[in-house]
């Protein structure tokens, strides 16, 4: 029997996204007044295909977290001039930077084609380049924030750990980079990272140099996973900082409410990003 709830949710998500994209100029003119300031610079990595998600994500951040000193959208190289202008008009804090400006120095030559040309390799290059002078927050474009995000201000003051990461609900990675199955434990998702100081990426780079064959979509996440654990990073509370797939085939979003801080709507549940948009406060 067809799962009508699932298909209805996907259809609603597609329709809402198309409507939101068509109204982007008007939505951007409707300014959000943040509840206060957020003390750290924020970085996101995205491109033209993700423009609606990126706009909605930033607006939900401003609504529930606050205005950072700078919110830098690092372009994968596909953003049009019009889209860049739309992003800059979102808020005085928003700026747009090219991925070519975020390539870590002093690494083996073999890794640079991946970091400079592969879509997720360029994302990893940005993460490896952070932070430069002070702690920063990195987030993907497919994240919505909710009323519970106020405690992110408290996390921003943490100084006893090198980083905090979003725990994944399962290991999604390039297993070729692992030496033992136990290295899959406590999977890291690269979509939401609070970086307090530069990390030692030597283990991840060494594993990349051992890689047989071309990098894949998850090579970057596996390298971040290895680096986070090698450096002793901590994890966000998965009850408030959510990455889950167990409601993929149901109509409602099981997690979007005023008690959570954020949800990362990875590809299998991307449609729920749009069905839950009103709860994020990023429309009005």
Instruction: In whole angstroms, give the CA distance from residue 241 to residue 128.
Output: 22
The answer, yes or no, to whether residue 1 has pLDDT greater than 80, is no
The 8-class DSSP code of residue 281 comes to T
CATH number of the domain residue 175 falls in: 3.90.550.10
The answer, yes or no, to whether residue 239 has pLDDT greater than 70, is yes
Instruction: Give the pLDDT band (50/70/90) at residue 219.
Output: very high
The answer, yes or no, to whether residue 164 has pLDDT greater than 70, is yes
| Whether 59 contacts 30, CB under 8 Å | no
Q: Which two tokens stand for residue 237?
A: 């509370």
Q: Which two tokens stand for residue 39?
A: 């003390």
The answer, yes or no, to whether residue 167 has pLDDT greater than 70, is yes
3-class SS shares of the chain: helix, strand, coil, % to 5: 45, 15, 40
210 burial level (CB within 10 Å; 0-12, 13-18, 19+) = exposed
The answer, yes or no, to whether residue 106 has pLDDT greater than 80, is yes
The answer, yes or no, to whether residue 282 has pLDDT greater than 90, is no
Instruction: Give the pLDDT band (50/70/90) at residue 283.
Output: low
| Whether 37 contacts 66, CB under 8 Å | yes
Task: Give the predicted TM-score (pTM) of the model.
Answer: 0.95
Give, in degrees to the nearest 5, the angle at Cα 52 between 50 and 56: 115
- Per-residue confidence (pLDDT) for residue 3, from 0 to 100: 87
Instruction: Give the pLDDT band (50/70/90) at residue 4.
Output: confident
Instruction: In whole angstroms, give the CA distance from residue 165 to residue 241.
Output: 10
Provide the domain count of the chain. Answer: 1
What is the H or E stretch that residue 235 is in? strand 234-235
- Per-residue confidence (pLDDT) for residue 216, from 0 to 100: 96
Residues 6+ positions from 122 with CB-CB distance below 8 Å? 45, 76, 77, 99, 102, 115, 116
Instruction: Give the pLDDT band (50/70/90) at residue 2.
Output: confident
Domain hosting residue 178, numbered range:
4-280
């Amino acid at each position: 029997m067809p799962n009508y709830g699932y298909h209805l949710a996907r259809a609603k998500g597609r329709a809402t996204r198309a409507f939101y994209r068509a109204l982007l100029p008007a939505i951007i003119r409707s300014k959000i007044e943040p509840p206060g300031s957020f003390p750290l610079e924020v970085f996101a990595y995205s491109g033209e295909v993700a423009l609606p998600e990126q706009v909605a994500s930033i607006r939900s951040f401003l609504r529930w977290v606050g205005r950072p000193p700078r919110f830098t959208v690092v372009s994968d190289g596909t953003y049009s001039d019009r889209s860049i202008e739309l992003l800059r008009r979102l808020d005085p804090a928003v700026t747009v930077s090219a991925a070519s400006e975020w390539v870590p120095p002093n690494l083996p030559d073999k890794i640079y084609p991946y970091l400079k040309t592969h879509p997720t390799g360029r994302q990893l290059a940005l993460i490896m380049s952070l932070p430069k002078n002070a702690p920063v927050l990195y987030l993907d474009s497919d994240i919505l924030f909710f009323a519970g995000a106020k405690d992110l201000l408290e996390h921003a003051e943490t100084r006893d750990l090198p980083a905090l990461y979003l725990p994944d609900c399962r290991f999604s990675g390039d297993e070729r980079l692992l030496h033992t199955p136990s290295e899959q434990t406590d999977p890291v998702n690269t979509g939401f990272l609070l970086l307090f100081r530069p990390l030692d990426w030597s283990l991840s780079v060494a594993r990349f140099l051992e890689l047989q064959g071309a990098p894949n979509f998850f090579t970057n996440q596996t390298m971040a996973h290895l680096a986070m654990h090698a450096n002793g990073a901590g994890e966000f509370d998965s009850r408030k900082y959510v990455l889950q797939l167990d409601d993929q085939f149901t109509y409602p979003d099981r997690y979007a409410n005023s008690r959570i801080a954020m949800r990362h709507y990875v590809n299998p549940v991307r449609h729920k990003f749009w069905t839950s948009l009103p709860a994020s406060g990023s429309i009005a």
